[in-house]
Structure 1
């Protein structure tokens, strides 16, 4: 008596590995975020280059997720050079200005001024909202990339995506505060979160 051969269903594409590959696509994506995060942190050191650095990071990770371009340091640097324009460098002056205003406000709040209990949460929410809009601006695809007006419109029009991105910013801040050694790697996950939110936001109206 013969038995019919047992057929084993093939693994889905996301779980397949090349011969000799130890990890799946999930680990590859994680490694890509760490690489891009570190390179982005270095590119942000001049401060005014931060918008261009995050824009290049979002594009690099988005292209990698779509399998349209490999995630490499050389590819990132090529995108960074393309985004280092007069407009992006001018936008790079806004983060240190915002930080300066926030530090002055914190000093005033600590001065026991009337209404300090209400000013502190409002200040924190303002900084968080500014970070969300800034990240969404860097994740926009051409020709809207680094457009503050377009980023603000999309942030207001997509509250769910903005809330998810705000949660990512809060988590990154907590990690930076508790484990300072992770700071050079955090730009990668933040840029990827912004890219994913932007992809979801852009795809939403088409699937409705």
Structure 2
């Protein structure tokens, strides 16, 4: 026999699910735990490198589901989203992150060199890499039918410069944290996916 929830149980659930005005996600401590779990799962899914776009898209889809339905993040939910995003095209796009890493290595080499034009090329390459990562993050947060579309990610970044700047700031902060506290590196994909999801949910371009 099932029992109807008592008034005290119902009120407790209401308090737990209550959101402040303008709040996209649930209570802060639950959100903190969800983002940490998503970060660890995304890091594990990124280990083959070419799966990075699918891993971040799965992270964003999982967080979006949490925002829409108030459900806690589960590893099984993340894995289902990851499988849904894996395809030959997405794996081919996964070759882009290593290329961006190569651009950053070249940029670092230019900074240490005395080649003519290094002072100009170094910031240009850094901005190009940062802009590409912003567009990539924005693309992973898109819903169907634009899911993982670099073109749509670029168009929305241009249409929403404030959101693009927020994502750029999140990326730069992640780099600083990874450099200063390397132990935090496995957790950083979670906040990045969270930032991309929130920007997309609140974007006027959406």
Does TM, normalized by the shorter one, top 0.5? yes
> 1:131 — aligned with what?
133
Residues paired across the two proteins, number: 188
> 2:54 — aligned with what?
52
**Is the radius of gyration larger for structure 1 or structure 2?**
1
C-alpha change, 1:132 and 1:205, in structure 2 (3 Å) is closer
> 1:194 — aligned with what?
196
Alignment partner for residue 155 of structure 1, among 154, 157, 166? 157
2:35 maps to 1:33:
yes
Q: Could you state the TM-score of these two structures normalised by the residue count of structure 1? A: 0.84
Taking CA–CA contacts closer than 8 Å with sequence separation of 6 or more, which of the two structures ends up with the larger relative contact order?
1
C-alpha change, 1:85 and 1:113, in structure 2 (3 Å) is same
Deviating runs (4+, > 3 A) in structure 1? none
Alignment partner for residue 168 of structure 1, among 164, 167, 170? 170
Cα RMSD (Å) of the superposition?
2.2
Alignment partner for residue 121 of structure 1, among 120, 123, 129? 123
> 2:15 — aligned with what?
16
Q: Partners in 2 of 1:161 and 1:102 — Cα distance?
A: 23
> Secondary structure of the residue that 2:202 maps to in structure 1?
helix
Q: Partners in 1 of 2:91 and 2:162 — Cα distance?
A: 30
Q: Partners in 1 of 2:13 and 2:150 — Cα distance?
A: 36
> Secondary structure of the residue that 1:144 maps to in structure 2?
coil
Q: Partners in 2 of 1:186 and 1:109 — Cα distance?
A: 26
Q: Could you state the TM-score of these two structures normalised by the residue count of structure 2? A: 0.85
C-alpha change, 1:205 and 1:189, in structure 2 (3 Å) is closer
Does structure 1 retain, via aligned residues, the 8 Å contact 2:103–2:125? no
Gaps of 5+ in 2: 1-11, 18-25
Does structure 1 retain, via aligned residues, the 8 Å contact 2:110–2:122? no
1:57-92 deviation digits (Å, cap 9, x = unpaired): 001011112226441010000110111111110000
Deviation at 1:104, TM superposition (A): 2.5
1:161-180 deviation digits (Å, cap 9, x = unpaired): 10111111111111111000
